[in-house]
Amino acid sequence: MSVKRPIIIDCDTGTDDAIAIIAALGCEEISILGLTSVNGNVSENYTSQNNLDMMEYLDRDIPVFHGAWLPLKASRDTGAGDNVHGKTGLGDVELPRAERRKMEGERAAEFIYRMALRYPGQLEIIATGPLTNVALAIIEHDDIKALIRKIYFMGGATEGGNVTPSAEFNIWVDPEACHTVLASGIPTVMVGLNVSNQATMGNGEIERLRGYGSREGRLAADIIHYQMNRFGIGIGFSRMHDPLTLAAALYPECLSFRECFVDAECRGDYTRGHTYVDLRNRSGRQPNCSVAVGIDVEKFREWLCERIRRAGE
Ligand code: RIB
Ligand code: CA
């Protein structure tokens, strides 16, 4: 009997985080141990509430944990607040507020450590927001470094950025956390904007998801519709940054990777949050990360739609 892969999804839910979670519910090869919430797209009180509401709305008993309200070093809540994900994080999608389900009392970093101890050498983390919770687990429990099998994170880029010309949002919120994760020696896989900006869904996929006739399909379609029409301008696509990170773990065939030295820039007036990706190994530094460098978009789209379909079965 194949043993299910034990997975924690650490997320700043957020629209594309929500779609990644829905798709993960359709992946029978994994056991989702829990959702750990982190400050990012919106404040942690919203990201955790979104996770809890989703689990009740989709009738899943996956535990939800509170996580970091602030990045390791910043002195303020850096939730985007620029409406990329709307005021509460799910755009104009309003889920019924959870009544039966309650947040767990244990905080994210402690839960991550406890699961690493329970599944030594097997636990994998799919991080789709700033890496604050994961970094705290590493800082507070040094022995965790030998216990976590792999960390897949959405963040950074081989060049450029989205929240600044040189930084991608997740790393920009907490570059110190990214540095801690990359320096930990835990195997890491980076899914950056260089591939995730190509991972788009549009009207055709919205129609297909609605056609499944499931809550999961409708919710994903509504979120994509919001992303395509936010700000009152109809952009013809929505970027699936976080679902692509799930694919890196569960369907790596849709991506190609290169082993590189990567670090996060924690200084610089203009470069804080930049990911230094030594694609040509010129730094002389040992590679510490598998960086996604190529994507087969059609393969990814097909996989993502199918997982969302299975989630609703
Ligand atoms: O830059 C894209 C990333 O920032 C995604 O994870 C999105 O959800 C936001 O967190
Ligand atoms: Ca995210």
- The span from the first CA to the last CA of the chain, in angstroms, equals 22
CB atoms within 5 A of ion ligand 2 belong to: 12, 14, 17, 128-129, 242
Ligand 1 atom closest to Cα of 128?
Answer: 6
Mean predicted confidence (pLDDT) in 187-192: 98
Mean per-residue pLDDT of the chain: 95
Catalytic status, residue 241:
yes
> Dihedrals φ, ψ of 62, to 5°?
-80, 125
Distance between CA 68 and CA 65 in Å, rounded?
A: 10
pLDDT of residue 230: 82
Say yes or no: CB of residue 242 within 6 Å of ligand 1: yes
pLDDT of residue 79: 53
What is 233-286 written as a DSSP string? Answer: ---S-EE-HHHHHHHHHH-GGGEEEEEEEEEE----TTTTT-EEEETT--S-PP
Q: 130-142, pLDDT tens digit by residue?
A: 999 999 999 999 9
Mean predicted confidence (pLDDT) in 62-69: 98
Say yes or no: CB of residue 41 within 6 Å of ligand 1: yes
Mean predicted confidence (pLDDT) in 86-100: 91
Q: How sure is the predictor about 82, in pLDDT bands with cuts at 50, 70 and 90? A: low
Chain-centroid distance, C-alpha 110: 19
pLDDT of residue 75: 57
Domains of the chain: 5-311 (3.90.245.10)
Whether the pTM exceeds 0.85: the reply is yes
DSSP state of 27: -
Q: How far is the CA of 191 from the centre of ligand 2 (A)?
A: 12
Q: How far is the CA of 171 from the centre of ligand 1 (A)?
A: 9
Any long-range contacts for 231-237 (C-beta under 8 Å, 24+ apart)? 231/83, 236/202, 236/203, 237/200, 237/201, 237/202
HSE, side-chain direction, 13 A CA sphere, residue 286: 5
